[in-house]
Amino acid sequence: MVDAFELLSEQRRPWLDEAALKGRFIEQSSPFHPDRVHGASEADRLAATARYTELNAAFNRLREPRDRLLHLLELESGGSPGDIQRIPPGTMDLFVEIGQTCRDCDAFLAARGTPTSPMLKLKSMREGLDWSGRIDALREQVMGKRAELVAELEAMNRIWADAPAVGDPLRRAALPLERLEQLYRAMSYVGRWTGQLDERRVQLAM
């Protein structure tokens, strides 16, 4: 497995500053950008394109917390997480609320149809605004949960910094991989919930 951290000269850690990561990617990839090698030989262009593609893939893997955590878990544990569908601790209430809200919102959208009278149009508009407010409030909760997760990931960096070096047989036991897996699953749900709520926001605005 390609180590995206090593490829971009980043230390393995749960949290990365996205702006700093992007700067490192640009610095390392710019010599291989197609605009820089258009006058080179075909072999050099192909090699540069391959290198640029590899660096770009590593950057995309590390910049999104959910993908970065999955990659870090695979590197440190030697395999993929187990039951990623299992509801992570501390998210059950939000899971239930979002599921019920999306189902109720879908029912409203299905019944809304096209109002035929001004009174019905006004009623539908008011209900749509009420639903938009509920969806927005729920999305704020999801973003709050995401901020909590990011803060915990940032705090975990010290554990990775203090852990035995990569390759040391004691390294795995020194890392909280079970908690990291829980955070990965929580981030996965946060991403899913954000997409579901954003989809309803678009439909309500139509």
pLDDT greater than 70 at residue 204: yes
The pLDDT tens digits for 127-165 are 999 999 999 999 999 999 999 999 999 999 999 999 999
Given pLDDT bands bounded at 50, 70 and 90, which one contains residue 17? very high
Average pLDDT of every residue of the chain: 91
Q: How many CB atoms lie within 10 A of CB 149?
A: 24
Q: What is the pLDDT of residue 36?
A: 79
Q: Which of 31, 66, 107 is nearest to 189 (CA)?
A: 66
Q: What is the pLDDT of residue 119?
A: 84
Tell me the average pLDDT across 182-192. Answer: 93
Q: What is the pLDDT of residue 115?
A: 67
Q: Residues 174-181: contacts with CB within 8 Å, 24+ apart? A: 175/76, 177/73, 177/76, 177/77, 180/14, 180/69, 180/72, 180/73, 180/76, 180/156, 181/73, 181/81, 181/82
The more confidently predicted of residues 57 and 125 is 57
pLDDT greater than 80 at residue 38: no
